[in-house]
Amino acid sequence: MSSYIIALDQGTTSSRAVLIDEKAQIVGIEQLAFTQYFPEAGWVEHDAQEIWESQQKVLLRLIEKHKIAPTAIKAIGITNQRETTILWDKKTSQPIAKAIVWQDRRTADFCTQLKEEGWESYIQQSTGLIVDAYFSATKVHWLLENIPNAKEKAQKGELCFGTVDTWLLWKLTEGRSHYTDHTNASRTMLYDIRKLQWDTKLLEKFDIPTSLLPEVKPSRADFGYWQYEGHAIPILALAGDQQAALFGQFCWEKGTAKNTYGTGCFILMNVGETAPFSYEGLVTTLACGLNETPLYALEGSIFIAGAAIQWLRDSLHLIDNAEDADYFAQKAPEDHQVYFVPAFVGLGAPHWDMYARGALYGLTRDSDKNTIIRAALESIAYQTRDVLEAMRRDTQILLSHLKVDGGASKSNFLMQFQADILNKEVIRTQTPESTALGVAYLAGLQAQLWTPNELIKNYNNTNKVFSPTQRSDWRSLKYRGWKKAIKKTKTK
Ligand code: ADP
C-alpha cells in the first residue's frame, strides 16, 4: 500500500489540502476560498470558525476524492498565513471574536506609542522584529482590551491564544493540543528568539497572562493526533508559510535564499544557527532546520512586485494579461534609463518609507509602452537586489544562487534580468507549491517516510536555471540609476 503525507496550507484567501506521495510528489490539491471582512478602514478580519470549516472540508474532500485509506496517511503537516491572531474559549472552543489578520492596521497608533516609549530596541533584540501592527502581540492586546470580559476570562485561564497553526491544531485534536512551533512563535513579537521562550517582560507590557499561550515546539515534532474513521493520524509538522517555503526550496544550508514573487515579494535567507541583529531594516526570524537545533533566517518583504504588472494591466490597460509583459519588455532597448519605482503603498524592506509614493523617472520623447513595461518588470528585480544587499551587509554572507517561485517568477524576462542584475544564478521551481511541499517534507522526515538524502535525490523540482549573461559595467550603470531613483522617491 502507498503512503501519503497531507499538507494543510491555510493561506490568507483560501484553505488548501495537498496530497503528497511517498516520492514527495504532489498528487492532489483541493482548495476553498473563504470570506474576508473589512469592517472599518484599515481593519481586516477572518472568521476563525470558517477557516477551520473550509480547512476540514478540503481535507475530507481530498481523502475521499483520491480514495485514501486512513492507514495510508502517515502524517499531517500544517503551514499557515502567519501573525493572524485568534482567541478562543478553552471549554467551548468558540472564538471570542473574529481573527485579526496580519494585514490589519488597527493597532498602528499603539505601535507608534510603543516606539515613543522607547521599546523598539528591546523588542528587536528579543524578538528579532521591528515594532509593527503586522505582528500578533498588539492584536492580542487589542482583543483583551476591547472584547467584553476577555481580560477577566484570560486572567482566570479560560482563554487560549493561537496563530492559525495553533487554532487548526486545536480543532484537529479536539482541544487536546495547544502548541505552536518556533517559526510561528517568532512572528508574535512576544517570543525571545535566542532564549527560545516567551518574553515575560513583553507579556507584562501587553498584559497577556501566560496561561493564554501555546507551548512552543520545533517545527518537526509530535503535535498530537487527528481521529479519522477510528484511526489516529499524527500531526508531525507546523511551520509558517514563508519558512515552510524556504525549507521546501531546499534552502537547508547557511547562505541559501529564496524569493517568492507574488503580489509582493518575500525574500528569506537561511543565516545558520546564530541570530544576527539587523541594522538594515530586515527582520530576524526562526526557520526550519533538519533537526531540533533552531535555525535563523533574515526576512525582507517588498510590498509591490507582481502587483506592478497588475497595475499596468488594470489601471493603464497597457497589457491584456500579465503573461504579455515579457513580449513588450523584450522590444524595449536593453540600455534604456527609465526607472519605475512602484512605491504605491510606500516602500518596504530595506527602505521602510511609509510615505513614499510611486514614480517614473528618466522619460524622454522616445520612451514608449515597451520601455514602461520593461521598467516595471525590472523594478521587481532591483527591489530584490536591494533586499539581498541588505542581507549581505548584515551577515557578510555571499549568496551563491537564488531559488525562486510564485506567480511572477513565470516571467522569463524578469528571471533573466534578475540573474543579470544580481550576477547570480536564479533557479526556478517546477511547481509553485514550495510552501505545501516544505511542510510535507518536514512531516515526512518526522514520520521517517524519507531521509534528507532521499528527498534531495527524489527532488526533481527545478524548472529552469537562469545564468547571468551581462557585463559588470552594464550591471553597475543600471543599478546606479535605480539607486538614484530610489533616493529621489524616499521622503526621509
Ligand atoms: P499571490 O500569492 O500574492 O496572490 P501569485 O503567486 O499568485 O501571488 O502571483 C500573482 C502575481 O504575479 C500577480 O501580481 C501577477 O501580476 C504576477 N504575474 C503572474 N504571471 C506573470 C507573468 N507571466 N509575468 C509577470 N507577472 C506575472
Taking residues 440-457, report their average pLDDT: 92
Among 9, 261, 374, 414, the mutation site with the greatest number of ligand 1 atoms within 8 A of its Cβ is 261
CA of 49 to the centre of ligand 1 (A): 29
Query: Could you give the percent of the chain with pLDDT greater than 70?
Result: 100
pLDDT tens digits along 312-342: 999 999 999 999 999 999 999 988 999 999 9
Q: Could you tell me whether strands 425-429 and 401-405 are parallel, antiparallel, or unpaired per DSSP bridges?
A: parallel
Q: Beta partners for 85?
A: 100
Q: How confident is the model at residue 458 (pLDDT cuts 50, 70, 90)?
A: confident
DSSP 193-238: TTTTEE-HHHHHHTT--GGGSPEEE-SBS---EEEETTEEEEEEEE
Q: Report domain extents, the chain.
A: 4-239, 252-429+461-492
Q: Which atom of ligand 1 is the closest one to the Cα of 263? A: 3
Residue nearest to ligand 1 atom 1, measured at CA: 262
CB of 342 sitting under 6 A from ligand 1 = no
Q: What is the pLDDT of residue 457?
A: 80
pLDDT tens digits along 129-185: 998 888 999 999 999 999 999 999 999 999 999 999 999 999 999 999 999 999 999
CA of 418 to the centre of ligand 1 (A): 16
Taking residue 237's Cβ as centre, other Cβ atoms within 10 Å add up to: 32
CA of 231 to the centre of ligand 1 (A): 40
Q: Could you tell me whether strands 179-181 and 159-162 are parallel, antiparallel, or unpaired per DSSP bridges?
A: unpaired
CA of 325 to the centre of ligand 1 (A): 11
Rounded to an integer, what distance in angstroms lies between the CA atom of residue 72 and that of residue 83? 33
CB of 262 sitting under 6 A from ligand 1 = yes
CB of 410 sitting under 6 A from ligand 1 = yes
CB of 175 sitting under 6 A from ligand 1 = no
Rounded to an integer, what distance in angstroms lies between the CA atom of residue 439 and that of residue 450? 13
Rounded to an integer, what distance in angstroms lies between the CA atom of residue 246 and that of residue 238? 14
Name the class of domain 4-239: alpha beta
Residue nearest to ligand 1 atom 24, measured at CA: 411
Q: Taking CA 343 as the corner, what is the angle to CA 36 and CA 333, rounded to the nearest 5 degrees?
A: 120
Residue 282 exposure: Cα atoms within 13 Å on the Cβ side: 29
Rounded to an integer, what distance in angstroms lies between the CA atom of residue 44 and that of residue 105? 8
Cβ contact 39:45 at 8 Å: yes
Residue nearest to ligand 1 atom 2, measured at CA: 262
Rounded to an integer, what distance in angstroms lies between the CA atom of residue 375 and that of residue 373? 5
Cβ contact 416:55 at 8 Å: no
The fold adopted by the segment(s) 252-429+461-492 is: Nucleotidyltransferase; domain 5 (3.30.420)
CA of 238 to the centre of ligand 1 (A): 26
CB of 303 sitting under 6 A from ligand 1 = no
Q: What is the pLDDT of residue 352?
A: 85
| Strand runs labelled E in 441-480 | 462-466
Taking residues 266-281, report their average pLDDT: 93
**Grid cell digits, residue 7:** 499538507
Asked if the model's pLDDT at residue 103 lies above 80, the reply is yes
Fold match flag (4-239 vs 252-429+461-492) = yes
Cβ contact 322:268 at 8 Å: no
CA of 122 to the centre of ligand 1 (A): 37
Asked if the model's pLDDT at residue 365 lies above 80, the reply is yes
Q: Could you tell me whether strands 179-181 and 215-217 are parallel, antiparallel, or unpaired per DSSP bridges?
A: parallel
Rounded to an integer, what distance in angstroms lies between the CA atom of residue 219 and that of residue 7? 14
Asked if the model's pLDDT at residue 42 lies above 90, the reply is no
CB of 404 sitting under 6 A from ligand 1 = no
Taking residues 429-442, report their average pLDDT: 89
Residue nearest to ligand 1 atom 13, measured at CA: 306
Q: What is the mean pLDDT of the chain?
A: 94
CB of 11 sitting under 6 A from ligand 1 = no
Asked if the model's pLDDT at residue 460 lies above 70, the reply is no
**Can you give the pTM of this predicted structure?**
0.92
- The three-class DSSP label of residue 448 is coil
Query: Could you give the percent of the chain with pLDDT greater than 90?
Result: 81
CB of 314 sitting under 6 A from ligand 1 = no
CB of 406 sitting under 6 A from ligand 1 = yes
Which of these ranges, 85-94, 272-281, 324-333, has the smallest mean pLDDT? 272-281
Q: Which residue has the higher pLDDT, 239 or 103?
A: 239
State the amino acid at position 173 in one-letter form.
Answer: T
Asked if the model's pLDDT at residue 292 lies above 80, the reply is no
Q: How confident is the model at residue 57 (pLDDT cuts 50, 70, 90)?
A: very high
CB of 77 sitting under 6 A from ligand 1 = no
Cβ contact 383:483 at 8 Å: no
Asked if the model's pLDDT at residue 355 lies above 90, the reply is no
